Amino acid sequence: MPIATPEVYAEMLDRAKAGGFAYPAINVTSSQTLNAALRGFAEAESDGIIQVSTGGAEFLSGTTVKDMVTGSVALAEYARVVAAKYPVTVALHTDHCPKDKLPGFVRPLLDISLERVAKGQDPLFQSHMWDGSAVPLEENLEIAKELLEKTARARIVLEVEIGVVGGEEDGVVGEINDKLYTTAEDALATAEALGVGEQGRYMLAATFGNVHGVYKPGHVKLRPGVLKEIQEAVGAKYGKEKPFDLVFHGGSGSLLEEIHEAISYGVIKMNIDTDTQYAFTRPIADHMFKNYDGVLKVDGDVGNKKTYDPRSYGKAAEASMAARIVEAAQHLKSAGTKIS
């Protein structure tokens, strides 16, 4: 059962919170980066989450097609075939979806899953993210409530974001200001609108100084204590310890102790993209520099087919990305915790 059923996904999330670890959620943009993610999870003996952003989904459909739904469906179907060969369980997730992309991304994918569930099948994806950080909180939660009703029927977990992750990802820019820190009032409003599980399961991307992009350790000023504050405020009102399943976005450059502190407050999923992109590309750059006269037909020469064959540098890229995922699983304490 390499692709998690809704029941197994729920078990995965429960095990993470109970066991004090988080799953690496790896963004992929191709079949090869998907294979690298699967390899990394397998080598770490960690279950995990594979996700695709709006830009990644569009890229997956082909640079002339540029259709997010087509790319997402293709990824999900391919993943079901190749993941069957790996001894770990993975969930499929769609990453940041702002308001203007809902009609062309999450909503049609939800409709596909509703059709599948009506036929007795599992949903196409196991979770979807609604990123309402760019709209007022009241509107954010109104849309989240409507989406949660549909995801619950489709046996899918919804991810919502309150607060703003700074930096840029797929054209969505978050300013670096006080909105980087979710307040207890924001969290209480979220629980009032969406419940604490009784209306449908959701994960919460609360912000505590997170910034998308690449930064040196110590540059990003995280305040993981914000997560403790919102868990305690909502937990006290609803009589539930750590009521939120929390998600950590924008973690590049975070100190290991900050990551572990965030996990202790209920983070069960951490998005990883920038670091794995670099890990994938670095060996390719190395290959090109070392084999300059082989990958190019310099001065009319014929080059060296063995060096410009994409497999020659693609294998190194896959291995490097997989190694970075093993490192992520070790940092998030999910290594060695696989279900199967």
Mean pLDDT within 41-69 = 98
pLDDT value at position 223? 87
pLDDT value at position 299? 85
Q: Reply yes or no on whether the pLDDT at 169 is more than 60.
A: no
pLDDT for 100-148, tens place per residue? 999 999 999 999 999 999 999 999 999 999 999 889 999 999 999 999 9
Q: What is the CA radius of gyration of the chain?
A: 20
Which residues belong to the active site?
A: 95
pLDDT value at position 170? 53
Q: Please tell me the distance from the alpha carbon of residue 210 to that of residue 227, in angstroms, as a whole number.
A: 12
Consult the annotation and say whether 213 binds a ligand. yes
Q: Please tell me the distance from the alpha carbon of residue 12 to that of residue 80, in angstroms, as a whole number.
A: 18
Q: Reply yes or no on whether the pLDDT at 176 is more than 50.
A: no
pLDDT value at position 221? 72
Q: Reply yes or no on whether the pLDDT at 175 is more than 70.
A: no
Question: Which domains are seen in the chain, by residue range?
Answer: 6-332 (3.20.20.70)
pLDDT for 309-321, tens place per residue? 999 999 999 999 9
pLDDT value at position 220? 58
Consult the annotation and say whether 161 binds a ligand. yes
Closest CA to 72 of 23, 17, 22, 34: 34
Q: Please tell me the distance from the alpha carbon of residue 40 to that of residue 170, in angstroms, as a whole number.
A: 24
Tell me the pLDDT of the chain averaged across its residues. Answer: 92
Chain length of the chain: 340
Token code pair at residue 141: 């939660």
Mean pLDDT within 318-325 = 98
pLDDT value at position 1? 62
Q: From the CB of residue 76, how many other CB atoms can be counted at a distance below 10 Å?
A: 21
Q: Give burial (CB, 10 Å; 0-12/13-18/19+) of 191.
A: buried
Consult the annotation and say whether 156 binds a ligand. no
Closest CA to 151 of 104, 121, 117: 117
Mean pLDDT within 209-224 = 65
Q: Give burial (CB, 10 Å; 0-12/13-18/19+) of 232.
A: middle
